[in-house]
Amino acid sequence: MTMIVVNKDYAIGSDPLQWIIYRRLKPTEKNPDGGWQAKYYFTTIERAIKELYQIILRSSDCESFAELVALAKATEEMLLTTFSPDLNFELDDGKIIPITGVKNV
């Protein structure tokens, strides 16, 4: 099983058939490290990343639109830093855009 820890709360992993978003469990007396629980399943890594972006935004405790926009930008940067070099994609307003050549600046 492959697992990439994305942040303190989420990881993306896989098995031979699917990609999985994991959520960190809270530590307990029996399991002081908390561990991970599989929460969502996808057929493609791109779909898993896109959904993780949405989950992080929807589960935030932002109290204003400005905070949500800042979180969206930070989350996008974090996901791009974690996955883009290997998958060759970028996020545009939460949409995964494949990078197929040189971008116009």
pTM comes to 0.73
Domain contains 104: no
Residue 103 lies in a domain: no
Residue 58 lies in a domain: yes
Q: What is the pLDDT along the chain (105 residues), one digit of tens a residue?
A: 678 888 899 999 999 999 999 999 988 888 888 889 999 999 988 899 989 999 999 999 999 999 999 999 899 888 888 876 555 555 565 555 554 443 333
Domain containing 75 equals: 2-98
- Our CA dihedral for 94, 69, 8, 96, rounded to 10 degrees, sits at 10
Count up the domains in the chain and report the number. Answer: 1
Place of tokens 């996808």: 42
